[in-house]
Structure 1
Amino acid sequence: MRRHLVWAVIFLLYVHSLMKSVDACDPTKRKKDRKNHCAGMDCDRGKCKVAGCSSCTGSNPWCAGYCTK
């Protein structure tokens, strides 16, 4: 019984951390910047697809994140 409780707690902690990092996948929750044309665009393998941008944000394992600079 105790082992099941430990696994349940570990699973819940994992799901909690995953839900916090999901913001990078949802385009409506990405931070936009009027001065920076590429802010909020999708990243590919940790690099921005748009020329002139270099920084990606997002720690979700299912998404590559989005450009910030």
Structure 2
Amino acid sequence: MFYRFESASRFALNSFERLQEERLKEAIADYNTFKKQFPESEHADEAEKILEKVKLELQGFTQAKEAK
């Protein structure tokens, strides 16, 4: 599950802007599944770091929508 989340986050972060928001949300959903199924994973720290990048990028979309 960690590798699925990691892959989804890379895919989202490197996507075209018009597809990125939806893919970022999917990556967060994958993280939530990973965290639920493997709360004590050895990859937990790395997953948290990746999640922060994903959330930061998603926050940019939220702020852009609010500015309109």
Q: Give the alignment's TM-score, normalised by structure 2.
A: 0.30
- In our comparison, the structure showing a higher alpha carbon Rg is 1
Answer 1 or 2: which has greater strand percent.
Answer: 1
